[in-house]
Amino acid sequence: MWLSRLHRCWGFGIQSPSDYSFVRNVVNEHWPYYAYEQLAAGDWLTRKLGWLYLRLANWRQPSAMLADEWQRYWHAGCRHTCFTEHLDRLELGRVDIDDQEGFEGLAAKSDADSVLVVERLWHNWQRWHAIERDPRVGTTFDLYYCGIVLFDKQRASHHYKVNF
């Protein structure tokens, strides 16, 4: 998979300055973060996704998120985030690709500043493409292991494949 996406690493082909910056400075940031050492447990994919979630939380700085099994990574990226069972507004969240009801619930609470991570894309490509076509979705980043959905509709919609 990595070789098939080699020409899509480091933001190659992304014309939008803000999307390019997001890919370079959040998704594929290789500088060590302050909490990497204490969050180094688990297999390579757990570390890779966990460190991405830390960087996303650091970038987005959400005030509230749904509690989940990645909570320690989110919290390492943003210490003031409160974890709850119910949200009024989506700032940053995570859902599994097979949880269509969860996606619909979070997308209904989204606005132009909302960011949603969709995990395990490789399990259901058809569902991922349906999310890309959803009228509420602005820009998507297909990282193979997960997808990142931005709901900002004021910008032109783009669907990027990124070598993560």
Give DSSP secondary structure letters for 61-122. Answer: --SEEE--TTHHHHHHH-TTPEEES--SS-SEEEEETT-HHHHHHHHHT--TT-EEEEE-GG
d(CA 116, CA 135): 15
What mean pLDDT is predicted for residues 112-133?
95
- Match 């619909």 to its residue by tokens: 104
* Lookup: tokens for 111: 């606005």
Q: What is the CATH number of the domain that holds 39?
A: 3.40.50
Tell me the per-residue pLDDT of 73-111, one tens digit each, with 9 for 90 and over. Answer: 999 999 999 999 999 999 999 999 999 999 999 999 999
- Return the percentage of the chain with pLDDT > 70, whole number: 91
What is the structure's pLDDT at 129? 96
* Total domains, the chain: 1
Q: Which residues contact 126 (CB under 8 A, 6 or more apart)?
A: none
Q: Using CA of residue 52, residue 54, residue 60, residue 66, what is the dihedral sign?
A: positive
Contact 95, 103 (CB under 8 A): yes
- Distances from the Cα of 36 to the Cαs of 73, 77, 96, in angstroms? 9, 10, 24
Does residue 13 have a pLDDT over 60?
yes
Does residue 147 have a pLDDT over 80?
yes
* DSSP-based three-state secondary structure for 37: helix
d(CA 58, CA 68): 17
Structural domain including 95 reads: 3-161
